[in-house]
A and B are shown apart, each in its own frame.
Chain A
Amino acid sequence: MDKSKNLRETAKTLLSEGAVKSIIGYKKGRFPFYLQPAIIKDPEEAASLVFTPLSRQNLVSFIKKAAKPVGVVVKGCDLRSLVDLLQEHQIGRGDVRIIGVTCAGVLKGDALEHDPRFKPAEIKDVVEDDGRIKVITSSGEFEMPEDSMMEKCRSCSVHAPYLYDDLIGGGEPGKAPGPPAYPGVEEIEKMTPGEKRAFWLDMFSRCIRCNACRQACPLCFCEECVMDEAKPRWVTAEVDPVENLFAHLIRIYHSAGRCVSCGECERACPVGIPLSLLYNKAAKEVNELFGYNPGVDPEAQPAMLTYRLEDPECKSCLGGRNL
């Protein structure tokens, strides 16, 4: 089934019938190897929408500022962050029309640039063909290997959205997923404290504190971020391995139990810091401690907004005594 065609028809109908005021989707730009967000209001603009293996960006980040009701194109993984926004009352269910798309996986940001078989300038199109990703170039067609997909796609359990108003791409609707697989976390856990420290200080030596990780995060919606506060100044704007790490530790604590492992922070990071490993570690801890799986049930109470006497942290605070 041609997802893009299916998507355009749905979007056009939604806009022309007035079901939504705007739709957030993907469009092609000048380069066949990039997609850009498209925020459209006119039914005629629906013709520009596409869904391809380059639909990497989590568009949920654009919901808050869009004209409502807003239709948003989401993959199963992006849907989790939308559900979190619903849980945290950042958006009303009636203000958002969920246009879910079945997805076979998306390519890593640099997969096409580093493929030795072709040059970026030769790429004509990137398409999904029966679950496989194909690159059409001036020198032939190439199937992309599995490791060219984003980490999260390779262990994905939400190929089909489990909550939607419109389902693009056909097939069976998805089931509420279990916790994400937290890829790569175990390898870091196996490191000694010294190795972990060396690994992260090395990675954070690249950080230029552009804050793209925060800006791209659909769940970083604070009007005033602790990173920018001047009085008191918790974190300086300096590039310094310790300040850099501290800034990210704050984000990790603030997103633990909320982060849905969409990988948007890592995707946005221009210097390639594997941020997902950090956020996935926190998510894994929350899941192990509280059995909470964020971004699945809009009615569920998020782990950090819940208090139960049997929560493990209470026991440890009280030295293991029961109340």
Chain B
Amino acid sequence: MNMKFLPAASLKDWLDLLRSHGTLIAPVKEKDGFIAFRPDPDFEDITLDYQNTVRPIREFFLPHSETLFNFETVQNGFDIERNKPEEPLVIFGVRLCDACGLEALDRAFSGKYTDPYYTERRKNALIISLFCTEPHPACFCEGVQKLMTGPKGADILLYPVEGGFLADPLSEKGDKIIGESKKLFKEPDAEQLKAKDAMVEKAVGAQSCIVDFSLLPEKFKELPPSSPFWREEGEGCVSCGVCSFLCPACQCFSVQDISDGKSGKRVRCWATCQDCRFAKMAGGIDPRPEKGERHYHRLSHKFADAPARNDMIFCTGCGRCIRYCPSHHDVLETLKKFLEYEEVKP
């Protein structure tokens, strides 16, 4: 699959063509400067000047709240009506960390167990990524997933270069999409390819990763959640769950029936393992009452269980959990200290 060059002047035409594949979703800057992915924006409202959105794109595949079906009591039981499939999605301007997050969600929702709602949306979606030229100092996508040098999760990756974009098809689907609008694309020249390589090198250099993730699975086995390390590590946490709500690779949900007794709906909502009620069971039993135990749970899931079961670390290095944590808890600092920690045996 070959890289092509899309002149900046052709971007609008290309996006207009893409709109025929489904609902276009792109980053938009709101009045107060807040940047979010919005459906069907006017071209003029789309912004390319952003480090990343606060909310990752997973909400378009695993919506925060989703009605799975409506139900109604009838004479001999229930009538159930499943929600109708939606328009396919074309998401433009996705950072690689968010695109990679979909790979984690794929393993959870389209792997051994198939969730029809997620799988259908994902199958029909087209993901167009925009290379991150200036990662935030809290970013570590290269360190954890090698995303800068080995991008994945998107169908097409655009590298912003002088006068336009280098479009790299990462999937067959992406290649086909570029092929469909051949007229808009040109062959890239050597200068542009060189600029792309320099851009990648610079972006890699802007990130720092202080953790050797390969050592974590063993360490998690060694130090249980009851260790004083985790107790102390959880002390400065407010148990809000911003880390997991903003995580592109987090996937927990709870299911509620909202009903008036006769009819209602079954709703799936995001949930966070950092909530003290998350693991509580009938009878008041709670396997993880302490904040540190919940941190252990979240991090061991991402960095030990997921690689063992799903062949992938469920973290994409987007840095949101560090930037938006009310306590600015630093996941890498925690993991580094964890690897260095030696339990004092009495």
Contact = CB atoms under 8 A, between A and B. Distances in A.
A270 B242 contact: yes
A63 to B, nearest CB: 12
Contact of A271 (B34, B232, B275, B330): B34
B65 A210 contact: no
A29 B323 CA distance: 12
B332 A30 contact: yes
A3 to B, nearest CB: 20
Task: Give the interface residue-count category, chain A.
Answer: 35 or more
Contacts of B63: 239
Interface stretch (A36-44, A90-98, A295-303): A36-44
B330 to A, nearest CB: 5
Interface stretch (B7-15, B134-142, B168-176, B193-201): B134-142
Nearest to A217: B238
Interface in A48-70: 57, 61-62, 65-66
A35 B136 CA distance: 17
Interface stretch (B68-76, B219-227, B266-274): B266-274
Contact of A212 (B32, B206, B210, B326): B326
B241 A212 contact: yes
A322 to B, nearest CB: 44
A268 interface: yes
Given A57-B327, A208-B270, A237-B254, A38 B65 contact: no
A248 B256 CA distance: 20
B186 interface: no
A233 B333 CA distance: 39
Nearest to A243: B65
Contacts of B55: 206, 208, 271
B268 to A, nearest CB: 10
B287 interface: no
B51 to A, nearest CB: 8
B267 A36 contact: no
A36 B245 contact: no
Interface string B239-276: 11110011000000010101000000001011110010
A236 B246 contact: no
A270 B54 contact: yes
B36 A215 contact: no
Interface residues of B, number: 44
B326 A31 contact: no
B146 interface: no
A251 to B, nearest CB: 14
Interface in B11-42: 32-34, 36
B9 to A, nearest CB: 27
Interface stretch (A113-121, A126-134, A152-160, A282-290): A113-121
A216 B254 contact: no
A264 B136 CA distance: 24
A238 interface: yes
Q: Which of A66, A215, A233, A267 has the most CB of B within 10 A?
A: A215
A164 interface: no
Interface in B305-346: 322, 324, 326-330, 332-333
Contacts of A57: 326-327
B277 interface: yes
Contacts of A264: 326
Nearest to B137: A121
A104 B269 CA distance: 42
Given A39-B235, A120-B136, A29 B330 contact: yes
B267 A216 contact: no
Contacts of B239: 215
Interface string A193-211: 0000000000000101111
B33 A209 contact: no
10 cross-chain pairs, A with B, having the tightest CB-CB distances, nearest first: A212-B240, A215-B240, A37-B236, A34-B328, A238-B65, A268-B326, A270-B324, A239-B64, A210-B245, A237-B269
Given A31-B328, A114-B33, 18 more contacts: A30-B332, A31-B138, A36-B330, A39-B235, A57-B326, A62-B236, A119-B134, A121-B137, A208-B245, A210-B245, A211-B275, A215-B326, A216-B240, A236-B258, A236-B269, A237-B254, A271-B54, A272-B32
5 contacts: A209-B269, A209-B270, A239-B64, A270-B242, A271-B34
